[in-house]
Amino acid sequence: MILIVVKWQLRPDKVDSWLDQVSAFTDATRAEPGNLFFEWSRSVDDPDTFLLVEGFADDDAGAAHVGSEHFRTAIGWMPDWVASTPKIINIQGPGDGWGEMGEVIPR
């Protein structure tokens, strides 16, 4: 599995429209055969910051994503929305998605 976390610092005048702007890109990515998850979260500490957590099954799925038309389209407009270059963590490891946290079990 490939796990990617991207930290997006957005322009303040664009931030409130961000989730609408990335909606088609998000839907298309989630529909990719090798996509395991693609989830956006807004920072509680900095309202201009979003985190994107992505999971792909393998290298082929990651390459297909980066080579997709929706990816190329998105990276064409994204520079106009960011305040700085996004920061990324990209790691590969075992697994095929989310597991359960053993330390916290509902009662």
Domain boundaries along the sequence of the chain:
2-92
pLDDT at 56: 98
2-92 topology per CATH: Alpha-Beta Plaits (3.30.70)
Full-model pTM: 0.93
pLDDT at 43: 98
pLDDT at 77: 98
The three-class DSSP label of residue 8 is: strand
Cα–Cα dist 98/37, whole Å: 9
Where the chain has pLDDT below 50, the residues are none
Adjacency order of strands within the sheet including 49-56: 35-42, 49-56, 2-9, 87-92
Q: CB count, 10 Å around CB of 37? A: 13
The three-class DSSP label of residue 68 is: coil
pLDDT at 28: 98
